[in-house]
């Protein structure tokens, strides 16, 4: 692309993945521009990260709307104001309705702290520990109307250690997230990543399984 990819990021909390994306852009590892950061939480710490980077912010508090559709409509209007090419969910803790997800089909990404389809929803690290599995991780996927059910693009796997707590496991997964989310966005920005008839295409080839980051060079 001759011009940077125009991104709007949606956050609800700390925005640590937002920071990783900002860092990748600043280091010229990601040909993108974050046009705005929008939060449904007026107290989200991630808004300060955006301010520090000179990125415009906006708060659309879901509590001020009568229903989900009204909130989604206001959010969509705000996003489209920036001629947005990609919507990036970076710790956005609201379920988005079917009309909203259909509007951004193939143009909205999310990162989820599990190896999808395992452990959709919340409390993924606790559930992974309780399941006594040996491996956990993170997934970047296209967003569809099904919660955490969109086609998965790339995953990073991390071991679960015998002495892990929720906190130690969460940090290990977060470190993996900071690698794979900017990478997936870069593929999209370079025109290498697309959703075609509900299937993930990368470099013109159908992905029959998510890219495994352990086997993927961070420069490819």
Same domain? 126 vs 77 = no
Residues annotated as catalytic are: 112
Same domain, 65 and 120: no
Domain span at residue 80 reads: 1-104
* 149: in domain: no
What is the residue-averaged pLDDT of the chain?
95
Together in a domain, 124 and 97: no
In the prediction, which pLDDT does 134 show?
A: 96
Q: In what order do the strands lie in the sheet with 152-159?
A: 57-59, 32-39, 5-11, 86-89, 108-112, 135-142, 152-159, 211-212
Q: How many CB atoms lie within 10 A of CB 142?
A: 25
Average pLDDT over residues 130-158: 97
**Same domain flag for 68 and 125:** no
Q: What is the value of pTM for the model shown?
A: 0.95
Assess whether 216 and 122 both reside in one domain. yes
> Does residue 1 surpass a pLDDT of 80?
no
């Amino acid at each position: 692309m001759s011009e940077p990819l125009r991104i709007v990021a949606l956050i609800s909390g700390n925005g640590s993945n937002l920071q990783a994306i900002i860092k990748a852009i600043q280091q010229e590892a990601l040909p993108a521009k974050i046009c705005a950061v929008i939060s449904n939480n007026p107290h989200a710490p991630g808004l300060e990260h955006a301010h520090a980077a000179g990125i415009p912010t906006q708060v659309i508090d879901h509590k001020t709307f009568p229903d989900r559709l009204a909130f989604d409509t206001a959010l969509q209007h705000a996003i489209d104001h920036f001629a947005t090419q990609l919507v990036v969910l970076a710790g956005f803790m609201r379920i988005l309705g079917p009309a909203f997800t259909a509007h951004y089909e193939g143009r909205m990404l999310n990162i989820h702290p599990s190896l999808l389809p395992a452990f959709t929803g919340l409390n993924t690290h606790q559930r992974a520990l309780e399941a006594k599995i040996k491996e956990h991780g993170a997934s970047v996927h296209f967003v569809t109307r099904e919660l955490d059910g969109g086609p998965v693009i790339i995953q990073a796997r991390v071991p679960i250690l015998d002495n892990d707590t929720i906190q130690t496991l969460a940090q290990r997964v977060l470190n993996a997230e900071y690698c794979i989310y900017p990478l997936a966005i870069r593929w999209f920005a370079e025109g290498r990543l697309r959703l075609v008839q509900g299937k993930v295409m990368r470099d013109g080839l159908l992905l029959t399984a998510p890219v495994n980051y352990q086997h993927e060079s961070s420069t490819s």
